């Protein structure tokens, strides 16, 4: 890996080949002014490349003379070998070098957690999808060979593919005669394995050989966001992943308000339609992206929380909300996609990963499956941070799960300029402790449009460490800095000025935003504490921590600990899983064994209800403080705060 060395800071860092200098600076803990998110438009991150191989893009922000002198914009300059970079004084801003060094500790590689892929977490598994597509050429019937169409098909499937008895969808049977004859007796049969010892079922017939076009759809139905991934079931290959806000958001941000809405006249139907529309839009985007035919997607696996399951299937969700919180169903039946108005192949089925209870749903089962927690020897803490925060503690022998309402903050909800982790979202933020000026990077390095989860964690941590906010998340207006202002009776920090944002207005973070983020992190931390208390284990007993959720591409452990989202776990214990729920759905599409495991996990989990747990509320209030009211449990953060106050 190439090494980038920065002067006058005298700090170096190793980065991937092709990484840009601005991100290298973030990793090295060096501050460079950058306010356009790395899009190359503000021209503030001008640096001099003194040595080494770089690939710079032309920029209107640099004169020919400057280019000749070796100047380049850090954000649009890729590192191609060992490089030495000098940062001009005006770009560093601020003289207190010591302050910088203390504050911007280099980020070690273990601390920046990137999302993992399935094989890395789950390990090897056999490709064994529940559906099969097989091509057969039937002999043309005659007076001598006068078997019925179905028996003829069976005979050939047995002879060529060794498929024994199977049953058939009536809808498929109704069209069989015409289909076979129009296809000149050359057809692809799509069969689905039966569960619980039932025989397979013929769900679809297509003209010609389509056996190579065998696709499945994995969907994660989140309260705030829906993700869909198209997968080739013959090759395991992923053909694309897309996401959108769940259109139900217009009817309420959390599951409680959704349930309330579902009880209004036509509310349930409307909610069901909204999520179906969202999924169908995602399918449309995937088809366009991949060139796959809708009729070749023969199976869908969905995962989501229990309320989302009820609303997706159009089932009464009322009693999820009312004590003793009983859902209609945890183990959803497999149904035809058409019955749910999901526009994939006719005859295709939808399987929903089973959940444990009203507040620990299929998304958790799915995540535990994908991340291999249910077969782990190590005591593992699995955390899924979504609109609901779910936490599971356990290993291959036992699993204890709990859920709390975390709020949609990390997915961009209930934050003024919050957004999902898509292009234009601010994902990395550093604030210069001396000048209080920010350094920001966006996904895709385009002009910033808003802030995603990882950016929000960074902001809270940086504002706190630089003393812009206090332990309660309240701004220090006495600092008299132009970026810290009061607007509409509310204090805020301007992260991006209007002329550098993609939305034509300032992107700021308000006190209310900070409050919402703090509540989210507080709920997660309190959940972890309560879970540990209930099994009387210290935090040190946890050997492995897996974090799932839609924060973005990265999660910086250091920042997550600084704000007290997580206890002070050591880097070697923690992995960022990314969207665990979607990964589990992906796995179930590819493996019948995984499907059985999902069922076992859902049956095996023990559910701890936090709403009746007296210590949860206490732990929660205790966590509504930066980093935490129990400062003794955050020794390294307290040490940094002490360093800060000495500066």
Partner 1 sequence: MAFQAPLESYSGKIREITLGSDTQVAVGGENTLPFYTFEGNIPNRPRIAMEVYDTEPVGWAGELKSAIGDVWGDPVAWAKKCESEYGADIVCLQLASTDPNGANRSVDEAVATVKAVLEAVSIPVMVYGSGNADKDGEILKAVAEVAQGKNVVIGPAVEDNYKSVAAAAMGFGAKVAGETPIDVNMAKQLNILMSNLGVAVDSLLIDPSTGALGYGLEYCFSVNERIKLAALTQNDNMLQSPTVSNLGREVWKAKEAKISQEDAPQWGDEKKRGIIWETLTAIAVMMAGADILIMRHPESVKLIKKTIAEFGV
Footprint of partner 1 (CB under 8 A): 470-472, 618, 621-622, 624-625, 629, 631
> Within its chain, how far is the Cα of 608 from the centroid?
25
| Integer Cα distance of 15 and 412 in angstroms | 29
The minimum distance between CB 625 and partner 1, in angstroms, equals: 5
Cβ-based neighbours of 127, under 8 Å, separated by 6 or more = 233, 234, 236, 590, 591
Q: How far is the CB of 96 from partner 1 (least distance, A)?
A: 21
Among 349, 339, 352, which residue's Cα sits nearest to residue 308? 352
Q: How far is the CB of 472 from partner 1 (least distance, A)?
A: 7
CB 626, min distance to partner 1, A: 10
Alpha-carbon dihedral sign for residues 362, 363, 365, 370: positive
Q: Which is nearer to partner 1, 471 or 571 (CB)?
A: 471
Query: Between residues 446 and 638, which has the closer beta carbon with respect to partner 1?
Result: 638
Helix 170-182 / helix 149-161 crossing angle, nearest 10 deg: 80
Spatial distance between the Cα atoms of 255 and 244, rounded to a whole number of angstroms: 18
How is residue 504 written in tokens? 């034509």
Which residue has 């914009």 as its token pair?
73
Closest CB to partner 1 among 505 and 630?
630
Between 543 and 618, CB nearer to partner 1: 618
Residue closer to partner 1 (CB basis): 470 or 612:
470
Residue whose CB is less far from partner 1, 122 or 634: 634
What CA–CA distance (Å, rounded) separates 474 from 485? Answer: 12
Planar angle of CA 582, 578, 573, nearest 5 degrees: 130
H helices of 1-96, in order, are 21-28, 64-68, 89-92
CB of 608 to partner 1, least distance (A): 21
Select 273 or 631, whichever has its Cβ closest to partner 1: 631
Lookup: tokens for 53: 């191989």
Contacts of 149 (CB under 8 A, 6+ apart): 141, 176, 177, 180
Task: Please state the closest distance from residue 622 (CB atom) to partner 1, in A.
Answer: 4
Nearby residues of 611 by Cβ (< 8 Å), 6 or more positions away: 325
**255 versus 517: smaller Cβ distance to partner 1:** 517
Closest distance of CB 621 from partner 1, Å: 4
Rounded to whole angstroms, how far apart are CA atoms 20 and 56? 9
- Greatest pairwise CA separation for the chain in angstroms: 98
Nearer to partner 1, 313 or 475 (CB): 475
Cβ 419 vs Cβ 409: under 8 Å: no
Q: Pairing relation of β-strands 438-442 and 425-431?
A: antiparallel
């Amino acid at each position: 890996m190439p090494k980038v060395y920065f002067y006058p800071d005298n700090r170096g860092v190793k980065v991937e080949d092709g990484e840009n200098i601005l991100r290298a600076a973030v990793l090295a803990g060096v501050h460079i002014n950058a306010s356009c998110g790395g899009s190359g438009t503000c021209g503030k991150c001008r640096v001099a490349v003194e040595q080494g191989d770089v690939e710079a893009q032309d920029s209107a922000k640099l004169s020919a003379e400057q280019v000749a002198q070796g100047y380049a914009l850090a954000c649009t300059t890729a590192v191609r070998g060992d490089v030495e970079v000098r940062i001009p004084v005006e770009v560093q801003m601020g003289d207190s070098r010591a302050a910088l060094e203390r504050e911007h500790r280099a980020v070690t590689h273990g601390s920046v957690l990137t999302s993992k892929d399935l094989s890395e977490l789950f390990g090897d598994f056999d490709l064994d999808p529940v559906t099969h597509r097989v091509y057969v050429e039937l002999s043309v019937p005659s007076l001598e060979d006068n078997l019925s169409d179905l028996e003829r098909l069976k005979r050939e499937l047995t002879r060529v593919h060794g498929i024994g008895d199977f049953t058939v969808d009536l809808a498929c049977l109704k069209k069989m005669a015409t289909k076979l004859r129009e296809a000149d007796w050359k057809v692809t049969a799509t069969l689905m394995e039966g569960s619980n010892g039932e025989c397979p079922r013929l769900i679809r017939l297509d003209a010609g050989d389509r056996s190579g076009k065998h696709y499945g759809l994995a969907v994660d139905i989140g309260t705030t966001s829906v993700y869909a991934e198209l997968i080739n079931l013959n090759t395991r290959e992923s053909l694309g992943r897309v996401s959108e806000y769940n259109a139900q958001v217009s009817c309420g941000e959390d599951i409680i308000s959704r349930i309330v809405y579902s009880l209004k006249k036509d509310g349930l139907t409307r909610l069901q339609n909204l999520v179906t529309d969202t999924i169908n839009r995602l399918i449309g985007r995937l088809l366009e992206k991949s060139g796959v035919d809708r009729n070749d997607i023969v199976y869908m696996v969905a995962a989501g929380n229990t309320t989302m399951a009820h609303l997706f299937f159009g089932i009464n969700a009322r009693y999820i909300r009312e004590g003793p919180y009983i859902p209609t169903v945890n183990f959803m039946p497999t149904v035809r996609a058409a019955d749910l108005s999901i526009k994939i192949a006719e005859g295709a089925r939808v399987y929903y990963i089973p959940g444990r209870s009203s507040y620990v749903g299929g998304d958790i089962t799915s995540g535990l499956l994908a991340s291999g927690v249910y077969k782990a020897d190590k005591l593992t803490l699995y955390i899924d941070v979504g609109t609901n925060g779910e936490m599971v503690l356990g290993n291959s022998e036992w699993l204890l799960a709990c859920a709390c309402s975390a709020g949609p903050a990390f997915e961009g909800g209930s934050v003024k300029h919050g957004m999902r982790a898509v292009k234009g979202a601010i994902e990395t933020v550093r604030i210069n402790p001396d000048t209080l000026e920010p350094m920001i990077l966006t996904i895709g390095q385009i002009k910033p449009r808003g802030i995603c989860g990882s950016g929000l964690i960074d902001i809270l941590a940086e504002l706190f460490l630089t003393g812009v906010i206090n332990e309660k998340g309240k701004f220090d207006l006495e600092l008299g800095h132009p970026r810290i202002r009061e607007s509409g009776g509310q204090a805020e920090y301007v992260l991006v000025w209007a002329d550098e944002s993609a939305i034509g207005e300032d992107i700021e973070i308000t006190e209310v935003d900070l409050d919402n983020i703090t509540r989210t992190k507080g709920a997660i931390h309190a959940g972890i504490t309560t879970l540990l208390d209930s099994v009387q284990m210290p935090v040190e007993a946890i050997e492995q921590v897996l974090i799932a959720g839609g924060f973005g591409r990265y999660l910086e452990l250091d920042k997550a600990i600084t704000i007290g989202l997580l206890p002070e776990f050591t880097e070697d214990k923690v992995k960022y899983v990314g969207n665990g729920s979607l990964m589990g759905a992906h796995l179930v599409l590819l493996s019948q064994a995984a499907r059985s495991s999902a069922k076992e996990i859902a049956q095996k989990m023990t559910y701890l209800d936090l709403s009746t747990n007296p210590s949860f509320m206490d732990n929660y209030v205790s966590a509504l403080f930066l980093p935490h009211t129990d400062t003794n449990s955050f020794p390294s953060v307290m040490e940094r705060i002490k360093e800060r106050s000495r500066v």
